[in-house]
Structure 1
Amino acid sequence: MDSLSMQHVIRAAEALHKAHSKVLAALNSEFTEIQVKRENALSSLGKVHARDFAKQKAKLNAEVLSSHNLVLKHVSDLLEGAGSDEDFAEYVEIGEVSINAKNIGVVSNLTVPMILPYLGHTNIISRGSTAVSDNLFRSILLEAISQTKMASLSLSVFDPKIRSTFSAFSELQNVEPELYSVIHTDSELRELFASSRDRISKVSNQLKGLHSSIIEYLNTGGDLLVPFKTVVLLDYPSTVTESLHSQLVPILQAGPSSSINFLIQLQDPSEYPDWFDESSITNGSDVFSLTENRVTWSKNKNLKISVPSTTASDVSSGLVRFTDSARSLLDVKLQDLFPQTQWTQSSISGLQFSFAGAKQAPLLITLGDSLVHGLITGATGEGKSNLIKVMIYNLAARYSPDELQFILLDFKEGVTLAPLAPTADSPDYLPHARILGLDADQEFGMAVLLEIERIYKKRMAEMKPYDNISSFRQANPDRIMPRILVVIDEFQGLLAENKSRLGSAASKKLLEIIRTVRAAGIHIILASQEISSITSLVGKRDGLLSQTKLRVGLKNTPKEAAQTFAIDNHAAAQLKLKGEVVINDSFGEIKANELGRVPYASDDELLRLRQGWSNQANNLGQFPVVFDGAKLSEFPNDASRNSPKDRRSTFGAVPIGRPVDVSQEFVWIEFEQLPSRNLAIVGNETEIDLVTAGVDSVAHPLAQIQACLDSLRRTLNPINSRIIIWNLLPIHEQQLIGLEKELDVLKNLGFQVSVLEGHSEVFGCIDGLYDQVTSEEQVSTSTFVFGLGMDRIGSLDSKFGATIKKYSQVLQEIWELGPTKGIYSISRWSNSELFLKHTNKHPEKVFNSVLLYAGTQSVAKRIDGILSEWNGRDQRALYRDFASSRGAFNVIPFALSEK
């Protein structure tokens, strides 16, 4: 190739190379741009993925933490008994459970408390490391004691090797000695097992097979009959015999459901005696296997559990915090609250008193123009009755009867007030008491409210022109006008709704009184175990609660505590000690709470005080009006002293029991020479089991027959009086009232007594009585015809002699006209329908005094109106005297007198 051709080739190659380079550069540039875009796209996509991943991770974290918090709250609720009124450690915290959540990429090192059902639920057994077991048991016991009301959990420790592992708990003995005990010998352990069996039996009787455990019973509103007990058995079965162990096994099985739990620390298995089978005590219990590095629970061996180190020092400091306030409250004694000199205070400005204290100092309360009335509540067994007694005696010690009087009503049994009344066996009494209502009922409660209203009106009239008792007494220092404190215990009994609507009327009257009586120096304190169900209180801002500025609460449920004080004031539900009390003088506002403790008032202490006051007040001659709704009237030994004073117009008089009224004076029927002045006794006894009830507690119609015979024997002149008995009673009823003996007494006193038995004798007597009634002769004698067992008189439809009259008509004429001739009838029917038949369905025309017992509704509608609901009541009879303007009313009939 010539040189020219070579140059063309070279130039062509260079051009190609340039072109190729240019193309490669363009391609490279495009690739680079694509790569950048790809990388940018990947980067952007990675950020999106990262954001989504972070969001999901945060969401999962939040859900886990939320679940963790819910678990913690649930644990807290269980431990604190949230939403319940529990005051015992049903659940205890024994350590922590660790959860390693790092493996799922969420969070790490989560922990939740390890809690166990305890009191009333299970026994706890530990095997393995003694040191870890000591920590575990000390932790459980400290938790249980701290969560349980003081004196509601006691601790006994069996320590055969005398290691004194739990000696720090002896601090409990400084509060109450029986709260902690330690035993070392088999004989002591045997006694412990025996007392445990007695406890199980006692609780089982309490449950009556209706509840599976004490916890179920308590959660249905029952009361703890005996305190919970925990028994710690250390180094078990060291020193224990096979025989003693066999006693423990059934106790372990029945114990938890009957309020007794065991903590058992097993000794080294290599030291077990040959007879010991570990499963005999571990079956059904919570068992923990312990090493220095691991705690394994028999019911979930996968949990990673750690037990805190709870030393004896930790126990001491924990108990000090718990018992310091308890000891300061328990140190309050009755004498700490009482004045050094008695009956020296003046009530002109108010009533100062104390029923509780703290650190041996009394917490003083003054009822006056500002703090007028009060409310006291407390659950069953928390010391309400004791508080009321301390309050009454404290006031009585400060003020003489000229400065203070009490009106006291108890609508439940009346045991608290009974010692304040004089009796034949116990003549001492409370001289300040004006009215005592023992086992009161609504009818008597209403009568007392009306009496309070009467006292108020009388005082306001006396005090004019002064506005209140303070200014009146300051201006008239010589006038005696004591303040009056009215205490109504279990006042819901007064306000209870019923068919007669007496509860509604009492509620209205009580509210009216409580709003107005302040100026007259009358103060009212209402007391009850629970008030949330009282319809006259609930939801009424202008009701009774709005008038009770003083609020006092013993231990109660959160619901009752809030009802007593304020919706946000649950202090009374958080009390630990029996007798511990919250006192508030500002309608229940939390900031006004004062915490104190009511000292126990022994019967002996109160008796000494009462005897001293009785002796000091003997010259006053003032005794309280005592009403006991559970007792029948007793016929007085001297009837003439209690009968009507004006005897000029009467041929005799008999009492008809006592009215359900404040006066408590006998109701009398006077036998005047007026038509139909007779007494009919109708109905049956309300309690027929005389063997178990006793005659003194049975409202029996025949008791009125006894009263009539006794009264006539004492008030009539035997010379011009005669008594005719139509004895139609069965033998057992004659014996019940001692009829033969009673008639012998009348005969020996000179009375003309005729006893007629059988149909012919009675009808013959009717013939003679009719002749006397229809004759024109005037009589100077009085004749009392007792028709006993008129149901058995037989048919009265036969004709009377040669007339067209029937004996029924003749008898009605005798009943109607006989009293005008001094012939009176006192007759008894069991069958009310037969009574109506014998009186031609108009009993009031021939018997203008009618006394009704049980089963007499048809007669009640005749004498008390068609709307009458009377058909008999325990301890009551219905009486109507048509010669009086007063309508039918209840009386407390007489008790049978044993002859």
Structure 2
Amino acid sequence: MGRKVAEQRARVVAALDRLRHQIGLARGAARNARAAAEADLAKRQLEQLIVRAGMERATQDPQLCERMTDPAMAEVLTWLNGVRTQFYAEWADGPNRLRELVAASAPGPAGRPPGEWLGRVGTSAGVTPPELWRIGESTVDGGDAGRTPGTELTFDVAVPLLDESHLAITSAPKTRPAVDALVENLLMRVLSTFEPGAVKVHLWDVGRLTAVLPNFYALSRTSAVTVHDPTRLVDLLDEFAGHIRRIHGYTMQAGYPSLRAMRRATGKRLEPWRIGVLYGNGEELQPEQIRDLKRVASGALAAGISLILVDVPTMLGGSVETISLRNEREAVTSMTGADLVVRLDPPLPAGQVTTAASRIAEALIEKQGGPRSFADLLPTEYGTECSARELRAPVGFYEGEPVDVVIGDATPHALIGGPSGSGKTNFLYALLGSLCARYSPDELALYLLDFKEGVSFAGLAPGRKDASWLPHARLVGVNVNTDREFGLALLRFLADELRRRSAAAKQHEVTNLAELREQDPDGHWPRIVAVIDEFQYLFAERDAVTALATSLLEDIARRGRSQGIHLILASQDIAGIEAFWGKPAVFEQCTLRIAMPKARRVLAETNQAAVAAPRWHAVVNHDSGIAHGNQLAHIPDASSKGVFPALQRQLWERYAGHGSPRLFDGAHAPALEDSAAFTSLSPTERPRALVGQSIDVADTAQAVELTGAPGRNLAVLGTSQKDALSILDSATRSLARQYQPGHVEFVLCCAVERCLTAVTVLGERLVAEGHKADVVPADGLSELVTTLSTELPGMRTSRIVVLYGVDAALPALEHKEPGKQSGLDHLRTLLKQGPGRGLHVLGWWRGVARLKDTLGFGGTDDIGAWAALDVQGNELAPFCAGQVVHWSPRPDRALFFDRTTHSSPEVVIPFRRPEADDE
């Protein structure tokens, strides 16, 4: 027992000895580390003292000399001597390299002496600005640069500004004249570098009631310099904020992070630079002003806006360089550090600045010139632009600079408004001409429609006086004031094209037109622009056309942007469009707003810019009408005689391979012989009787297929003789083209004496084409239908029976001999059983009730297709599956329904009979 206790005690003692040993080692290491740290700290403190005092002065300081005699501290002096030697080796040529850097980064007026440029007008187009702008010079002692001590080495000092940095200037007491001279020097260097108009300066001084920088007075009378109300800083900041939002919108949409990046990529100066000079008084601005100023400063550089703040004690967002004046000639800057004093350049001679400002102002006024012509909108070379990402074209000028309209993903659709005589049509021609001159027909396709008896676009299609056409146009619709269905047809076409493009985009796994064109370079994907002038007439009534058109327009407006389908909606006044009450989708997508003088409700409610716009001008706004997006533009004369046609002929000759557009003229019925639907007919086993021209984007016709199915007969209803003759004429002649001679017999019977001549001419034409055609007198109709009814079971040859004014012969047809069927009974037999035997009736009844009398009870199914003329819609329900028919008679139009193909009746245009003009 005692031995075990002794062993345990021995183990415990051994463990404690090991612990003491380890603790001793750790304490020794800690002492050594502390000693090393204290030695290193002492070296660093000595190093700091020597650096502060300077190497030469340090050797003369008794206390430092005593510390440097310590062997442990000797290496500090050795290391500093090595660093100094290396620095002098690198800095020996430093001042000279700084001069070379400034010369390269500040060429011309940006860095050269005033005598070489002051008074000369700048010529730079302004794609890439100088990186630095000279403000003075600085000097270092030669001893600090490894040279002979006491020798002065001078180098230029310059600061970044445009696209690079903001500038904050802090004055010293009694240095306001020096600050003004500094700002004046910088601004005059900038204004003298670029061509007039490339830079706009905004001046604001919280303490001045008169003009800031009075030597710039001549420029303040132009757009180059604007002096702002000292009590309304908010207006200037709002203006800058508007520019930033607008510029950011279209640069980011185009795929560029800043205006500078876009400018360098495109090689064009799309916007002027803007410099805002804000003079404070050293006191803090109001909290809301500070907030707005910081918000502007954070996004300004990317939008080409630079701020120069004088005595405004505010920390700005973004890159900021500082200049702090010590006295009237000296300052320190963040570019050179606090240890180097900058000698500011002397003030520019006041008289020379005034002269220079006057010359720049005169050059700007001369550049702006008088009203520009339409030719100034056109590029030097046609068809060179690509529309993959957007369409961009100038439509006018403001102070000599072109004002562009941009149609793309960011601004997909446009709304144009202006009262009669305000220049809306002229603007449309200027826009179309500028676009077509820049983009080829493979890049841009136009669909043009003009309501309200308009003929604005008629000249863009081939005409009798001018055979040329606008090769970019695919469709031109004019005089469609009563044919709202044609506007609906255009929207249906655009919706179908949208679905086709969406399907292609899905197949190629892309999301927009630019990507689709990149993935499918062999596909034909132009940007489509549909212009609908006086578009509000499409929604003039509360009916199915308005409902469907509203739905289609909303869908196209919402989804068309990504697939390159764009709408331009123009109107004299959009105040009364009830179809869009509570449905703002269309107007929200129309972010591009064009307001002609005195236009109402096109821009935002609070934006009254159009009220004050002068004649021949327009307010172009890419920001949904918000005031900050306003751009006033003078629109050249594009609609005078011979102006646009001259461009059209050049484009027509250049793009000769592109076909003519489809022309729809609601004031002129097409001739049957000119219809592609008629000329393309040939013999077939399923003949189709053409009824009239379709109101559609494609040049098509409505027709009745005459097969053996029950009811394959056609009824024309109404009292309009001209249209009834036209429909029966086109139906008969089109059928004749689809039968070989001898394979069909035509039987024509006219019960209306005034139509007899037209029927006789039709019969003679059929005979001349090799067909058998009999013209039966009115009093022979009863005998005719009796004979045909009797021969029907054994009939081998197809027969087309054309009856004119059947209701006029009803008394004779109703006559019945005892024990025999009446002629009316035989006619009903033909209507019911004829189609199955190859006999079809094309008949004209001058009233719906008379057709009912002819068919008898339950006979409506025997008329499978009908064309209504001057008949009210409510009378047609029995022949339209009981559905309500919305139809009011319209001149030269018919309502057509074929129950085998139509879900609802459609409006058609009866073909024009040339001989009708002589009747």
Q: What residue is the counterpart of 1:668 in the other structure?
A: 703
Q: Secondary structure at the match of 1:701?
A: helix
Cα gap change, 1:804 to 1:730, in 2 (>3 Å): closer
The answer to whether residue 550 in structure 2 is matched with residue 527 in structure 1 is: no
Instruction: Provide Cα deviations, 1:278-327, integer angstroms capped at 9, x if missing partner.
Output: xxxxxxxxxxxxxxxxxxxxxxxxxxxxxxxxxxxxxxxxxxxxxx9999
Instruction: Provide Cα deviations, 1:754-799, integer angstroms capped at 9, x if missing partner.
Output: 222243x2211122111112x3x250x2222211121210326746
The answer to whether residue 873 in structure 2 is matched with residue 860 in structure 1 is: no
Q: What residue is the counterpart of 1:742 in the other structure?
A: 762
Identify the match of residue 771 of structure 1 among 787, 790, 795: 790
Q: Is contact 2:804-2:844 (8 Å) kept?
A: yes
Identify the match of residue 852 of structure 2 among 822, 828, 836: 836
Identify the match of residue 626 of structure 2 among 585, 589, 597: 589
Cα gap change, 1:343 to 1:843, in 2 (>3 Å): farther
Q: Is contact 2:367-2:400 (8 Å) kept?
A: no
C-alpha distance in 2 between matches for 1:384 and 1:325: 28
How much does 1:638 deviate?
Answer: 7.6
The answer to whether residue 749 in structure 2 is matched with residue 726 in structure 1 is: yes
How much does 1:672 deviate?
Answer: 2.4
The answer to whether residue 725 in structure 2 is matched with residue 705 in structure 1 is: no
Q: Secondary structure at the match of 1:837?
A: helix
How much does 1:424 deviate?
Answer: 5.4
C-alpha distance in 1 between matches for 2:859 and 2:368: 70
How much does 1:813 deviate?
Answer: 0.7
Identify the match of residue 411 of structure 1 among 441, 444, 451: 451
How much does 1:801 deviate?
Answer: 5.3
Instruction: Provide Cα deviations, 1:174-229, integer angstroms capped at 9, x if missing partner.
Output: xxxxxxxxxxxxxxxxxxxxxxxxxxxxxxxxxxxxxxxxxxxxxxxxxxxxxxxx
How much does 1:641 deviate?
Answer: 5.7
Name the TM-score, length of structure 2 as normaliser: 0.56
Cα gap change, 1:655 to 1:587, in 2 (>3 Å): same
Equivalent residues in 2 for 1:452-601, closer than 5 Å: 452-464=494-506, 465-498=509-542, 500-537=543-580, 542-556=584-598, 560=600, 563-577=601-615, 579-601=616-638
C-alpha distance in 2 between matches for 1:637 and 1:555: 43
C-alpha distance in 1 between matches for 2:367 and 2:879: 64
Structure 1 stretch 747-756 or stretch 786-795: which is displaced more? 747-756
Identity of aligned residues (%): 27
Q: What residue is the counterpart of 2:345 in the other structure?
A: none
Q: What residue is the counterpart of 1:604 in the other structure?
A: 642
Q: Is contact 2:491-2:553 (8 Å) kept?
A: yes
C-alpha distance in 1 between matches for 2:604 and 2:814: 76
C-alpha distance in 1 between matches for 2:667 and 2:365: 42
Q: What residue is the counterpart of 1:204 in the other structure?
A: none
C-alpha distance in 2 between matches for 1:430 and 1:471: 28
Identify the match of residue 373 of structure 2 among 319, 327, 333: 333
Q: What residue is the counterpart of 2:435 in the other structure?
A: 395
C-alpha distance in 1 between matches for 2:465 and 2:739: 32
Cα gap change, 1:346 to 1:791, in 2 (>3 Å): same
Q: Is contact 1:832-1:858 (8 Å) kept?
A: no
Q: Secondary structure at the match of 1:612?
A: helix
Report the AA paired with residue 485 of structure 2: E
How much does 1:456 deviate?
Answer: 1.2
Q: Secondary structure at the match of 1:898?
A: helix
Q: What residue is the counterpart of 1:849 in the other structure?
A: 865
C-alpha distance in 1 between matches for 2:804 and 2:689: 17
C-alpha distance in 1 between matches for 2:523 and 2:806: 59
Cα gap change, 1:325 to 1:804, in 2 (>3 Å): farther
Q: What residue is the counterpart of 2:157 in the other structure?
A: none
Cα gap change, 1:594 to 1:485, in 2 (>3 Å): same
Identify the match of residue 838 of structure 2 among 813, 822, 827: 822
C-alpha distance in 2 between matches for 1:522 and 1:665: 24
Report the AA paired with residue 649 of structure 1: E
C-alpha distance in 1 between matches for 2:534 and 2:823: 55
Cα gap change, 1:356 to 1:439, in 2 (>3 Å): same
How much does 1:501 deviate?
Answer: 4.0
C-alpha distance in 2 between matches for 1:807 and 1:740: 23
C-alpha distance in 1 between matches for 2:773 and 2:545: 46
C-alpha distance in 2 between matches for 1:556 and 1:663: 38
Identify the match of residue 368 of structure 1 among 379, 390, 408: 408
Q: What residue is the counterpart of 1:623 in the other structure?
A: 660
Q: Secondary structure at the match of 2:642?
A: helix
Report the AA paired with residue 636 of structure 2: P
Cα gap change, 1:858 to 1:524, in 2 (>3 Å): closer
Q: What residue is the counterpart of 2:771 in the other structure?
A: 751
Report the AA paired with residue 877 of structure 1: A
Q: Secondary structure at the match of 1:596?
A: strand
Q: Secondary structure at the match of 2:701?
A: coil
How much does 1:438 deviate?
Answer: 1.9
Q: Secondary structure at the match of 1:380?
A: coil
C-alpha distance in 1 between matches for 2:377 and 2:417: 21
Aligned residues, how many?
Answer: 547
Report the AA paired with residue 564 of structure 1: V
Cα gap change, 1:829 to 1:425, in 2 (>3 Å): farther
Equivalent residues in 2 for 1:106-505, closer than 5 Å: 331-423=371-463, 426-440=466-480, 441-464=483-506, 465-498=509-542, 500-505=543-548
C-alpha distance in 2 between matches for 1:328 and 1:382: 23
Which runs of 5 or more residues in structure 2 are unaligned? 1-363
Q: What residue is the counterpart of 1:130 in the other structure?
A: none
C-alpha distance in 1 between matches for 2:906 and 2:532: 24
Report the AA paired with residue 827 of structure 1: G
Identify the match of residue 649 of structure 1 among 685, 696, 706: 685
Q: Is contact 1:347-1:483 (8 Å) kept?
A: yes
How much does 1:747 deviate?
Answer: 3.1
C-alpha distance in 2 between matches for 1:387 and 1:842: 59
Cα gap change, 1:384 to 1:843, in 2 (>3 Å): farther
Q: Secondary structure at the match of 1:517?
A: helix
C-alpha distance in 2 between matches for 1:486 and 1:832: 40
Q: Is contact 1:355-1:363 (8 Å) kept?
A: yes
Instruction: Provide Cα deviations, 1:425-469, integer angstroms capped at 9, x if missing partner.
Output: 543112212232223333222222122111112112112311111
Instruction: Provide Cα deviations, 1:714-765, integer angstroms capped at 9, x if missing partner.
Output: 443333332222121223x334xx3333333333444333222243x22111
Q: Secondary structure at the match of 1:657?
A: strand
Q: Is contact 2:874-2:884 (8 Å) kept?
A: no
Which runs of 5 or more residues in structure 1 are unaligned? 1-323, 689-698
Instruction: Provide Cα deviations, 1:74-122, integer angstroms capped at 9, x if missing partner.
Output: xxxxxxxxxxxxxxxxxxxxxxxxxxxxxxxxxxxxxxxxxxxxxxxxx
Q: Secondary structure at the match of 2:523?
A: coil
The alignment yields a C-alpha RMSD, in angstroms, of: 2.7
Q: What residue is the counterpart of 2:693 in the other structure?
A: 658
Q: Is contact 1:337-1:361 (8 Å) kept?
A: no
Q: Is contact 1:639-1:711 (8 Å) kept?
A: no
Q: Secondary structure at the match of 1:572?
A: helix
Q: What residue is the counterpart of 1:898 in the other structure?
A: 915
Report the AA paired with residue 497 of structure 2: I
Q: Secondary structure at the match of 2:863?
A: coil
Name the TM-score, length of structure 1 as normaliser: 0.57
Q: Is contact 2:782-2:824 (8 Å) kept?
A: no
How much does 1:529 deviate?
Answer: 0.7
Q: Is contact 1:863-1:888 (8 Å) kept?
A: no
Q: Is contact 1:877-1:890 (8 Å) kept?
A: yes
Report the AA paired with residue 742 of structure 1: L
Cα gap change, 1:640 to 1:870, in 2 (>3 Å): closer
C-alpha distance in 1 between matches for 2:447 and 2:847: 41
C-alpha distance in 2 between matches for 1:750 and 1:867: 44
